[in-house]
Amino acid sequence: MKRKIVIAGGTGFIGKELIQHFSVTDHVIILTRGIKNVQTNSYQSHGTLQDTNSIRYVLWDATTISGWAKELENADILINLCGKSVNCRYSKKNKAEIFSSRTQTTSLLGEAIRNCIVPPKLWINASSATIYRHATDRPQDEYNGDIENDFSVQVCKAWEKSFFDVRTPFTRKVALRMAVTLGSGGVIVPYFNLLKFGLGGRQGSGKQMYSWIHIKDTINIIEWIHEHKTMEGVFNCSSPHAVTNEAFMKTLQKITGHKFGLPAYEWMLKIGAAIIGTETELILKSRWVLPTKLLETGFRFNYDTIDKAFTEIVNHTPRKAYHLF
């Protein structure tokens, strides 16, 4: 029997990959604020949707309860990926939007669930592994991770609070603290561009830890959570084997066949970030995360090492994406 999968904010890289996966066997409903822009995401996967008859886009404004709310009725899984990209300057305006696009949308979905006659069986809400401190001394997990109070951490704390504060007694809830998600689109695209122009060396000292996960393992984790009905609460969504930034870049060079890559020193990153309108924290913060609770449930990763992940990605990505010639 086909499941009913509802995805809020499903037009980015992760959302598109989830749609491609679920649409093969299930009915997928995407809540989006701009249907006309669904196919224009420049960081989309190189894959194509296999069964468009199983996919339906529904307009919502992400601020008020309206006709979209009925789509949650009798859903098997609700997945919320909504949130303004943090790939921007942390101006007062952008900070406010980063907060509100996560907390208000999450609270709104919770209200809609409470109004359902037959609410979703499972609600998976995105969070971020950046909730943990800058860590170079030891990995952070769900039991002993240190949560401090910089801007990114404040966002994650408020995001999770808005998720767990709303009571949904008939809907199981899981917050996924997601590490950088790798696939043939999304965040890998800027790295490929650096490689093409000989700039694929370490960033900063290169010693900062880089927690990551392959998109296919992310999908498998969601399926695992659906199948294992006792799983609730917070889970780190990250490979068990984080690497340093330097190892990350060297492995990417090796797998893509690049012989060298010039490093980007911290002062260069600060200038570059200001020019392109982003923050160096996205590159220089040391994210060292372990998925302890997930491993305790018996889940096993298909792409547990960065070599395996990059090999799969490069095998499914056109050469022109990471080579000039």
Task: Write out pLDDT tens, residues 151-176.
Answer: 999 999 999 999 999 999 999 999 99
**pTM for this entry:** 0.92
Contacts for 164 with CB less than 8 Å, ≥ 6 apart = 173, 175
H/E element, 320: none
| Closest to 6 measured CA to CA, from 52, 61, 65, 71 | 71
Task: Write out pLDDT tens, residues 233-272.
Answer: 999 999 999 999 999 999 999 999 999 899 999 998 888 8
CATH number attached to the domain at 4-180+215-238 = 3.40.50.720
Task: Write out pLDDT tens, residues 83-130.
Answer: 998 989 999 999 999 999 999 999 999 999 999 999 999 999 999 999
What pLDDT score was predicted for residue 324? Answer: 85
Q: Give the pLDDT band (50/70/90) at residue 52.
A: low
Distance CA(222)–CA(225), nearest Å, equals 5
The mean predicted confidence, pLDDT, of the chain is 92
Distance CA(216)–CA(218), nearest Å, equals 5
- Alpha carbon distances (Å) from 85 to 88, 99, 192: 7, 11, 20
What pLDDT score was predicted for residue 41? Answer: 43
H/E element, 209: strand 209-210
- On whether the CB atoms of residues 310 and 215 are closer than 8 A, the answer is no
